[in-house]
Structure 1
Amino acid sequence: MPSYSESSLEAGLTALKQGDYQTAIAQLEPVASSKGNSTTSLQARVGLVMAYARTGEARKAIALCQTLRDSQNPQVQEWAERALTHLTKRKKTKKVSPQTSKETTNSGNSSTVVSGRIQQSVLEKPAQPSHYQNTFIETPVASQNRFTESDGYTPTQRLNIYWRQAKRAKVWQPLRKPKLLPLRLQALFTIVALFWVMEFLLKVAMVSVNVILDKLPYLAPLPFFYRDPKLVVIGILVSAIALSPWLLDWLLTRFCSQQPLSKDILHSRSRETARVLQRYCQQKRWQLPHLRILPINTPIALTYGNLPRNARIVVSQGLLNQLADDEIATIYATQLGHIAHGDYLVMSLVLLLTLPIYRLYQQISQWGNNISPGFGQWPFNIFSSLIYGIWCLFTGTALWLSRSRHYYSDRLAAEITGNPNALIRAFLKIAIGIAHDIQQVQHTNCQLESLNLLMPISYQQSLSLGSIAGHIAFESALMWDHINPYRRWMAINNSHPLMGQRIQWLCQIARHWHIETELHLANEQFIKTTRQSFLLQIAPFLGIPIGFGFAGLIWLSWQTAFSLKFLNLKWIYEDWNFVSGCLLIGFSIGLVIRMNAFFPNLKTANYQANESLPNLLANPSAIPIDSTSVCLVGQLLGRPGTANSLAQDFILQSSNGLVKLHHVPWLCLGQKVHLPDLIGRQVTVIGWFRRGATPWIDIQSVQTQTGTTLYSPHPIWSTILAIAAQAWGAYIFLLG
């Protein structure tokens, strides 16, 4: 049986979460006045600070915070310091009545104890070991709820970010219905692309097996491996679509510990979400989607299934912990948008095909990491890289659809909830939460990468945006995304639309409904990026159509010479293979033209340091070819060993944010130290900073504190690639 103090504490915290602050104060004051620094007393005092702040009793809240600063619990001390700083600042700025203070608090800074909406998990403990590793105080209430936050401060709150808490529309008109034909065509294209990729890989596998069997003694090739695999591929795709809900249930449960999410827990986290789901499903005459949860601290959400009655909406524990009531509702509304538009069917198919491949890559990487570094590790490095490449190939088939579908779901979410501003805050908080998770675990979580295609925000765009939050305003950080004239070209290989562009769309909806916007993004304006710079940026790719035109000109010349009986090159111009040689030569020439501008000499006097990183990210006119020499100091993050054979996960955590690193591992064989050996250490990175849809640094050198230096020969790699393409193209061109 719980004691009287525990019962009062539980009742007080429950009233606090429900917004009944007077009842909370009445229940918590007797418990808080008990002597000592017991866990129960500390919890009651923290709850009282929040209740006092909500009711405008700032003096009482400040006095209580001052007593909490003397607590022996270091986390309570830190919490009290942050709360006291904010409360004191507010008191000096403006002296108001209790009612006015309550209204001000509701629209104020969500980074403190008086956030716009008190999240349920203020004092609750995690369901399992947290990435944050700073669990606060356990409460009787928390012990009854498995899905809870690790401490009182979310990643957003730790950064002292000011949120305008812009209001929602009270009455709004429906938006004009978008044309769904482009989305349907993109979904069809994705299925066709999947078919082509599967057929190609299956043919390669069948031919390879038969070649091996033919070379081995006493064995013969399998006759049915010479047949056309089209029908087999069609059967696999149809079966995968039909069984995707249940197969993905098993895979996500097996590999990601997915569990059912009860409606009661969801209702306790976000009352509005339950209403949104119920109202929209009744309107569409659907059954409620199956609700699932992933017990991880990274804020993610995804939807899969094949029919509305089989749809599953999955969120993570981190999303419920880090977002407010109305923000959670808007994220669920975006998932309803995917169901309504039907794009979730194709994305479920892609996830079903890619998840086992990614899991195989993980497993091979684990086996490779268990082997001592040396020659024995190379087969695992090669095989894991091959499997990762296949995973990227399958994932690439859905990039176009993935970028487009969020435009439709964001529109519908705003229309369902009437709250585009909450969706803006949700996107930004998810980006901050993802960046915080990467900083905590010191590499990109495999769940983040494997589920990235279906998430609301990609982890790549969250790296820099989420980590520089608090250093510069969101409006500055997002300026490149919605102003740079070549932004869409730079995002062609991205899985999600640019964050600034999405927020701009939502701001347009808010202005259409005559409500204030959460962010005030600048309008389109003239910037200094020139067309010449852009053409130089895409010179290697421009060389391909130029090479094709050159091949056509050569064919016409040869054909004319043959007609005039001047020259007989029939053996060349009747074999159209020479066209591919011209394409390779054109690509090589474009690569050479771009090289000097892409890799200018690094001069010590021009190095940009850590403090300049936010300004580099905020520059709206830069494109990748506008190289900036940087010398940044920070901790090297990334996956260890075999899992990083292709250098796909190297990140620098500087004092002002995270930035992606590009490294060329296959030309560093002669060096004694390899970049994965430096993961977790303090390093100095010198290289070329590039501002694209995902900002990155091409490494020139990495130096440790002990003086060890590792080089990454990007210009040499580009030269080798250009020479190889030129030689191969010339060989094809001359032999026909």
Structure 2
Amino acid sequence: MARLFFASLVTVGLLFSMVCGLILALLVLTDQVNLGFAIAITIVLNAIIWLVSPWISDLTLRWFNKLQFIDDAEVASRYPHIHQLIHDVAAEYRFKAPRIGLIPDRNPTAFTYGILRSNARIVVTDGIFEFLNADEQRAVVAHELGHIVHRDFIVMTAAGTLVQIMYQIYAAAMRSGRQGSSGNSKNKGGQALVGIGALIAYYVGIYLLYYLSRTREYLADAFSAERVEGRHLASALVKIAYGIVKAEDTDATQSLLQSTRHMGVVDVKNARYSGLEAENDLDDPERASEAMLFDAHNPWARLIELNSTHPLTGLRIAHLGDIARAKAQAFPDYDLKAAAQRVGLNKGALWSRFWFELAILLFPLALGILAAALQAWVLIPAAVAIGVLATLRLRYPRGASPATTVANLMTDPTVSPVVGRPAQLTGKAIGRANPGFIAGEDVIYQDRTGLVTADFRSMLGFIGNLFAGWKRVPKHIGQDGQLQGWFRRGMGGYVIMREMSSTAGTLRARPYFWQAFLSVAVIVATLFFYFASTQYTLDPEALRIDRTFGEGR
């Protein structure tokens, strides 16, 4: 846990030092911009938002999600195991026990918000009590108490303010550079450099903010494991993901999950994919552990996680397992170390495959950079397009799709978001991937071992997707058949559809068509422009030679 606290401190310190450095650089270069006022306004506005946000959240959740706060006596009566935990932690850390709010929604989620420890709220849905047992409920509430104890409201608000200030510095530097006098070109150039540096720092800061958020989640997990054994939070994370997939989607449910995505015990986007895995593996913890090996060991998982406020589920469970082993506690169900030994995981092979696939991903960019290095500026688009064409066969391997199962695909830790694994599943589409969207072209496909998302990509692009979702996909839902395509894994696993056949007919897709067509079009257009411009450049010289020859004759 000390390492995680240190990581949080270093991240906030890095953001602060970046801001201070940019401010000093800009103030040295110019005295024309009232940067201090802009920063002061940013800090004041964030402070006001921080102060009033709990009451705004109360009103919003009451209005849209029927939130009800229950008094302490009712909590003690209905949920004595949770009441005892909350009061034990509050007494130990000397703050007022947080208010408990209940939302009547089957989607299992929990989150906390507030200003300080003393006025925090913990909100849970009915789904927490439907899908989780008593120990798992305590583990989830302990996780939220961890956020309160660690004062994450303040930490994340302060870090977010620093990132906003970086953007203020960028805007101020650019504005000052445009308005400055033409005689002070040296300072103007310096201001532009500071502005560019601030913009880069702003985007870096966003990813540092994501990293800080993930670190705070790990800290809250560790706090939960201190109060309730880590195995209970591990199983709770799996069941929450399962419950989010199983519970009926409504507008209110979607609003709740999306609006609390950054605050919830899980990231709902990751949870939907994890939920499909949990649907497959809820009664088979060993297979579930093998499905999470991708999260814990595949290098692509680290890149995928960069854009998330929460760690990937497999990484969180691996972290909880490490804590349990350090405390000599049982961790029988989701032991990722044992799973890695069962499948004979080769980390060296995973890294070799990662570098190869990264090279495939970056090859078009590398050709573009090569063209630029050779100063063939006009040919840069064609070079990139050639790279795309050259890698299509690798990203969409041709040939027969071997018969397999969802379980076999999901437990393969070597898959990636770049190179598809050819696969053929036997089963049926059981519904749309986006329930309620009548033109949704993607479906949930079920075989005898589990569920996976089938991603339809029309050769006609967006319009083709809408038409297929509206007219062609519905007749295949509920019909037995086969699905052929390429399995990839990003935040979760999915099959890019090549063909879905059933008793209702055959639905074909050409996911690589537009990439190939546009690449060829770019190459042709670039070469045409190149030769046209070359001919135009040479024509005057050719005319001069002809004219000289005519005069000599």
TM-score normalized with structure 1 length:
0.53
Q: CA deviation at 1:317?
A: 0.7
Q: Does 1:182 align with 2:7?
A: yes
Tell me, yes or no, if structure 1 residue 682 matches structure 2 residue 450. Answer: no
Cα displacement (A) at 1:656: 3.1
Higher alpha-carbon deviation: 685-694 or 311-320: 685-694
**Shift of residue 700, structure 1, vs aligned partner:** 1.9
Residues 585-594 or 616-625, more deviating? 585-594
Distance 1:346 1:587 in 2: 43
Alpha-carbon distance between aligned partners in 2 of 1:336 and 1:447, rounded to the nearest angstrom: 21
> Which of 509, 514, 522 is the matching residue for 1:717?
514
Distance apart, 1:297 and its partner CA: 1.0
Instruction: Report the CA distance between 1:717 and its aligned residue.
Output: 3.0
Q: Deviations over 1:204-224 (max 9, x none)?
A: xxxxxxxxxxxxxxxxxxxxx
User: 1:300-353 CA distances to partner (integer Å, 9 max, x unpaired)?
Assistant: 1112223223322111111023222222121111112222334345768999xx
Structure 1 unmatched ranges of 5 or more: 1-175, 194-227, 352-394, 559-571, 573-577
- Residue 696 of structure 1 deviates from its aligned partner by 0.8
Q: Distance in 2 between matches of 1:233 and 1:732?
A: 49
Match of 1:651 among 440, 444, 458: 444
1:220-369 matches, cutoff 5 A: 237-345=46-154
Q: What is the identity, as a one-letter code, of the residue corresponding to 1:620? A: P
- Asked if 2 retains the 8 angstrom alpha-carbon contact of 1:436 and 1:466, the reply is no
Whether the 8 Å contact between 1:652 and 1:658 is mirrored in structure 2 is yes
Q: Distance in 2 between matches of 1:431 and 1:650?
A: 19
Distance 1:726 1:253 in 2: 57
1 CA distance for matches of 2:529 and 2:6? 42
Could you tell me how far 1:698 is from its partner in structure 2? 0.9
Q: Is the 8 A contact 1:634 1:652 kept in 2?
A: yes
Q: Deviations over 1:486-523 (max 9, x none)?
A: 43234444443222222222122112122222333335
CA displacement at 1:694 relative to structure 2: 0.7
String of CA shifts for 1:412-433, please: whole Å, max 9, x gaps: 1112x15112222222222222
- Mapped pair 1:594 → 2:414: no
Q: Distance in 2 between matches of 1:717 and 1:442?
A: 34
1:501–1:672 Cα change, 3 Å = closer
Which of the numbers 401, 413, 423 marks the counterpart of 1:629? 423
Looking at structure 2, the residues matched to 250 and 448 of structure 1 have their Cα atoms a distance apart, in angstroms, of 17
- 2:272 aligned to 441, 447, 460, which one? 460
Equivalent residue number for residue 23 of structure 1: none
* Maintained 8 Å contact 2:438/2:470: no
Judged with a 3 Å threshold, the aligned counterparts in structure 2 of structure 1 residues 307 and 550 are, in CA distance, closer, same or farther, namely farther
Q: Residues 177 and 699 of structure 1: is their aligned pair in 2 closer, same or farther, counting only changes over 3 Å?
A: same
**Partner Cα separation in structure 2 for residue 344 and residue 587 of structure 1:** 45
In 1, the alpha carbon distance for the partners of 2:518 and 2:10 equals 36
- Is the 2:75–2:83 Cα contact (8 Å) retained in structure 1? yes
Q: Is the 1:681–1:704 Cα contact (8 Å) retained in structure 2?
A: no
**1:411 match:** 222
Identify the residue that residue 497 of structure 2 maps to in structure 1.
Answer: 699
2:327 maps to 1:521: no
Measure the CA separation in 1 of the matches of 2:100 and 2:17: 31
Q: Indicate conservation of the 8 Å contact 2:142/2:228, yes or no.
A: no
Say which of 341, 344, 358 aligns to 1:538: 358
Letter in 2 for 1:636: G
Amino acid at match of 2:314: G
- Segments of 5+ residues of structure 2 without an aligned counterpart are 19-36, 161-205, 534-553
C-alpha displacement of 1:452: 2.9
Q: Would you say the 8 A contact 2:439–2:467 is kept in 1?
A: no
Amino acid at match of 1:687: G
User: Which structure is higher in RCO with an 8 Å CA cutoff and minimum separation 6?
Assistant: 2
SS at match of 1:542: helix
- CA-CA distance at 1:468 after TM superposition: 0.6
Q: Is the 8 A contact 2:403 2:424 kept in 1?
A: yes
**TM-score normalised by L of structure 2:** 0.68
Name the aligned partner's letter for residue 305 of structure 1.
Answer: G
Question: What is the alpha-carbon distance in structure 2 between the residues aligned to residue 722 and residue 443 of structure 1?
Answer: 43
When the two chains are superposed, the root-mean-square deviation of aligned CA atoms in Å is 4.4
Question: What's 1:427 paired with?
Answer: 237
Q: Which residue of 1 aligns with 2:34?
A: none
Q: Shift in Å at residue 178 of structure 1? A: 3.1
Q: Percent identity?
A: 24
Measured in 1, the distance between the counterparts of 2:146 and 2:82 equals: 14
- Greater helix share, structure number: 2
Partner of 2:454: 661
| Pair 191,177 (structure 1): closer, same or farther in 2 beyond 3 Å | closer
Structure 1 residues 248 and 532 mapped into 2: Cα distance closer, same or farther (>3 Å)? same
